[in-house]
Structure 1
Amino acid sequence: MLVLLVSFAFGFGYALSRIGLPPMVGFLLAGFVYNIAGFVPPSGLDLVSDLGITLLLFSIGLKLDLKGLLRAEIWASATAQILLTTGVLSGLLLLAQNVLSISLLDLSWPALIILGFALSFSSTVYAVKILEDKGDMSALYGKLAIGILIIQDLFAVLFLSLTAGKAPSLWALGILALPLLRPVLYRLLDGSGRGELFILCGLFFALGIGAELFALVGLKPDLGALVVGVLIAGHPRASELSKALFGFKELMLVGFFLSIGMTGLPTWEMLAAACVLCLVLPLKTGLYYGIVSRFGLRARTSLFSSLTLTNFSEFGLIVAAIAVEQNLLPANWLLVMALAVSISFAFSSPLSYYAESLYQYFSSWLRPFDPQRVHPWDAPIELGRARAVIFGMGRIGTGAYDVLQEEFGNAVCGVDHAPASVDANRAQGRNVLLGDACDTDFWLKLKRDEDLELVILAMPNHQGNVFAVHQLRNHGFQCTVVAIAKYQEEVDAFTEMGVCSAFNLYERAGAGLARKALQGCALRHQSEDSASGQ
């Protein structure tokens, strides 16, 4: 059965990816088809699913800025959204109950409120996957979306604690002493090397210290993984650990998406109810947009964060499951919720992937709503009189900056969308500005400077670099453009677009290593010749 399930997952994931949808939608569909065909789910699938979610929250913690959650645009937006969306959706369900005579809507008013509360959540799993695929985890709208989701998750944990029928043990107070373990965790991470022991160290932190410890004291295991991730987020190797666990997390999350489709066998009435619920997703987007835009964020940032959150959540499923156990909801609503979550992912995926095109189409309607006082992290910028500009100031971008500074002096400018990266580069004396090369408004405000000679596209996401190339051409910039690439097909794509040079990282790394080796040989021969001459 395991081989059959893997075949289903690959087949549907591959098919959906060919038509422009993310593979996760194919995994959801594979779970439903597998279930409808009458096959028995393999043992251990739920365990794999739980591990995937635990590792996901651990990886979020590794990248989480705890101080950022205290910003009003995050905690206030999340709180207002939960309350407002719960009220609106509960009201709509009550209206439908009075208008339609459907057995599914034969619910008490507490059940309607719980259902509205479950539908108010957005999916952390989905949002992180989308943001990672687009390379926008560090973008302002990505950090805003993740921050709102973390606050939502805390609401879910509070609900689970109140309805689970048992309170955390007194030992849960000992969790407050966890920060005292940070030096020990740092030392373990430092001494784990870079091989399989390093990966096991990350798994031990997430599953052993985080999930298991919280479970022992009556708290949610996933919350423990998140907390431990936050504890070690300040370690220099935290980003490396996140990348090392990436493959494990991705593989196990496939089990999560498959398991959603195996909740049960739905009826046509349940499928119709799930589709009707998904019709209110645009209303949910509008509520997000209206709330987030009140905090000085531009229309583009508000729209992007809202589209990322336009879905229903796996936490909504958990809330519904607890309500069913407590006899607050009929059991058939759990299947309706599972269907609604799955359909919402399929509905939201194209919106998230084509968010920039949607913004360009609706920008004339949205820009009049831009605030007069823009959030300082969200204000479009101008480059000034630069002769060389580098987009993406990671390790590749900073290396290129230092070399170009020898040629162009102070006429070199770096641009990055991550505030932390900008601050780190400025602290080292580089001229780096906060901006997003995937932002249409950024290019609209950018003046064509006749002094600009060179643009280097060093952003980690290929689609972002492609978008920047199109914008440079559309706005008439006449300069040399060089872009990085990881695969030959990316090099070919840049060549077709007229990019002067596409730098294949892996090929050029080998060439650079060979040149360094030859230089070392030459120096050794010179040293030997000088020694023999003496």
Structure 2
Amino acid sequence: MLVILVSFAFGFGLALTRIGLPPMVGFLLAGFAYNMAGLVPPDGLDFVAGLGITLLLFSIGLKLDVKGLLKPEIWASAAFHMVLSTSFMCGALLLAKYWFNSPLLDISLATLLVLGFALSFSSTVFAVKVLEEKGDMTAFYGKVAIGILIMQDLFAVIFLSASEGTLPSYWALLVLGLPLLRPVLYRLMDMAGHGELFILCGLFIALGVGAEGFSLLGLKPDLGALVMGVMIAGHPKAAELSRALFGFKELMLVGFFLSIGMTGLPTMEMLLAAILLCLLLPFKSTLYLLIVSRFGLRSRTSLLTTLSLTNYSEFGLIVAAIAVSQGILSPEWLLIIAITVSLSFALSAPLSRYSEQLYRWTSGKLIPFETRRVHPNDAAIDVGVARVVVFGMGRIGTGAYDELVNIYGENVCGVEHDPARVDRHRAAGRNVVLGDATDTDFWLRLQMDPYLEFIVLAMPSHCGNIFAAHQIRNLGISCQVAAIAKYPDEVEELHQLGICAAYDMYEEAGSGLVQHAMRGCDLKAPSPSEA
């Protein structure tokens, strides 16, 4: 059965990627198809799915800025949206109860409130997956979206504890002493090296210390993994650990998406109910757009944040499962929520994929919603009179910037979307501005720049580099362009877009090493006769 399930997942995932949808939508369809074929789910699938979510929250914690959650655009947006969206969903369900004569809607007002609350949440799993694929986890709009989702997760923990009628034990107060554990965790990471022991160290901290420790204290295990990620986020090897666990986490999450589709076989009435719930998504998204725009976010940032959250959450499945186990809901609702979540993912995926195109089509209508005060982290990008612009100030971008300064002097500007990294570069004396290379407004302004001669695309995300290359070509920006890539097919894709120099980081690293060694060791190349 396991081989068949893997075949289903690969086949549907590959097919959906061919039409521009994320593979996760294919995994959802694979789960439904596997279930409809009458096959039995393999043992341990739910365990794998739970492990994937736990590791996902741990990886979020590794990149989470705790202070950022205290910013009004995060906590206030999450709180206001939860109240307004829950009220709206309850009202819509109440109207449906009186309009449609269906046994599915023969539920109490208290149950309607629970369903409305569950449908007010957006999916952390889906949003993180999409943002990771686009390379926008550290973009400002990505941080706002993830921050709102984290706040929703905290609301969920409180609700689950109350709905199950259990309260954490007095031992739960021990979590207040967790900062004292940080030196021990840091020491473990230092001792683990960089190989397989390092990966096991990360799994031990996430699952052993975090998830299992919180479970013993009567707290949500997933919350424990998130807290442990936050605890070690400041360690120099935190980013390395996130990369090391990435493939393992991705594989476990396949089990999560497959398990959603295996909840049961839907009837036509259940499918119709799920479709009607998905028709409410535009209203839920409009609430997000109106709320986040009140905190000084530009129309583009507000729209991209909203599109990342335009879906229903897997948390709805958890709420439905608890309600079914307590006899509050009929078992049919568990399958309805599963179908609704799956359909919302399928609808949200293309919206996120083509978010910039959607912004271009709607920018004129969205600008009136902007406030006069612009958020300091969302100001328009201004590179001044720079002759050279470097996008992505990571290690490669920084090296390129420093080399270009030796050639062009002060006429070099770096663009980076991580505020903390921008501050570090400015402290080091570099001319770096905060901005997102996928900002359509910026490229339209750059089109009119008469000083620009050279652009370097050094972003770690290939999607980001491809988007920038498309903008340069489509807008007819006349300058030389160089870009980095990780694989030969990515190099070919960049060349097809008119990039004059696409640098394969891995393939050409050896050449760079030899050239550096020849200069550093004062070696001279042998003459043809000596060779």
Partner Cα separation in structure 1 for residue 454 and residue 442 of structure 2? 18
What residue in structure 2 maps to residue 107 of structure 1?
107
What residue in structure 2 maps to residue 74 of structure 1?
74
What secondary structure does 2:433 align onto? Answer: strand
What residue in structure 2 maps to residue 512 of structure 1?
512
Q: How large is the Cα RMSD of the aligned pairs?
A: 1.5
What residue in structure 2 maps to residue 427 of structure 1?
427
What residue in structure 2 maps to residue 437 of structure 1?
437
Partner Cα separation in structure 1 for residue 337 and residue 450 of structure 2? 57
Give the letter aligned to residue 367 of structure 1. Answer: I
Q: CA deviation at 1:522?
A: 5.2
Q: CA deviation at 1:324?
A: 1.5
Partner Cα separation in structure 2 for residue 278 and residue 408 of structure 1? 54
Indicate conservation of the 8 Å contact 1:381/1:442, yes or no: yes
Distance 1:114 1:148, change over 3 A: same
Q: CA deviation at 1:373?
A: 1.3
- Larger deviation: 184-193 or 440-449? 440-449
What secondary structure does 1:503 align onto? Answer: strand
Q: CA deviation at 1:485?
A: 1.4
What secondary structure does 2:409 align onto? Answer: helix
The alignment status of 1:448 with 2:448, answered yes or no, reads: yes
What residue in structure 1 maps to residue 491 of structure 2?
491
Indicate conservation of the 8 Å contact 2:213/2:224, yes or no: yes
Indicate conservation of the 8 Å contact 2:447/2:475, yes or no: no
Q: CA deviation at 1:479?
A: 1.6
Partner Cα separation in structure 1 for residue 335 and residue 401 of structure 2? 54
Give the letter aligned to residue 299 of structure 1. Answer: S
Q: CA deviation at 1:333?
A: 0.6
Q: CA deviation at 1:242?
A: 0.4
- Larger deviation: 459-468 or 35-44? 459-468
Partner Cα separation in structure 2 for residue 525 and residue 276 of structure 1? 72
- Larger deviation: 74-83 or 318-327? 318-327
> What does 1:18-29 correspond to in 2, within 5 Å?
18-29=18-29
The alignment status of 1:37 with 2:21, answered yes or no, reads: no
> What does 1:31-430 correspond to in 2, within 5 Å?
31-430=31-430
Indicate conservation of the 8 Å contact 2:419/2:434, yes or no: yes
What residue in structure 1 maps to residue 529 of structure 2?
none
What secondary structure does 2:502 align onto? Answer: strand
Identity of paired residues, percent?
A: 67
What secondary structure does 2:506 align onto? Answer: helix
Indicate conservation of the 8 Å contact 1:382/1:447, yes or no: no
Instruction: Give ranges in structure 1 of 5+ residues lacking alignment.
Output: 527-534
Q: CA deviation at 1:200?
A: 0.3
Partner Cα separation in structure 1 for residue 520 and residue 454 of structure 2? 31
TM-score w.r.t. structure 1 length? 0.96
Give the letter aligned to residue 45 of structure 1. Answer: L
Q: Which runs of 4+ in 1 moved over 6 A?
A: none
What secondary structure does 1:506 align onto? Answer: coil
TM-score w.r.t. structure 2 length? 0.97
Partner Cα separation in structure 2 for residue 524 and residue 169 of structure 1? 72
Report Cα offsets for 1:390-409 as digits up to 9, x if no partner: 01111110000111111111
Give the letter aligned to residue 166 of structure 1. Answer: T
Distance 1:518 1:347, change over 3 A: same
Indicate conservation of the 8 Å contact 2:260/2:338, yes or no: yes
Q: CA deviation at 1:308?
A: 0.5
Indicate conservation of the 8 Å contact 1:24/1:254, yes or no: yes
Q: CA deviation at 1:423?
A: 1.0
Partner Cα separation in structure 1 for residue 450 and residue 518 of structure 2? 40
Indicate conservation of the 8 Å contact 1:448/1:476, yes or no: no
Q: CA deviation at 1:67?
A: 0.1
What secondary structure does 1:145 align onto? Answer: helix
Q: CA deviation at 1:520?
A: 6.3
What residue in structure 2 maps to residue 531 of structure 1?
none
Partner Cα separation in structure 2 for residue 166 and residue 80 of structure 1? 27
Q: CA deviation at 1:514?
A: 2.9
Partner Cα separation in structure 2 for residue 391 and residue 512 of structure 1? 21
Paired residues, number: 526
Indicate conservation of the 8 Å contact 2:454/2:479, yes or no: yes
Report Cα offsets for 1:317-359 as digits up to 9, x if no partner: 1111112222222221111001100111001000001000000
Indicate conservation of the 8 Å contact 1:211/1:222, yes or no: yes
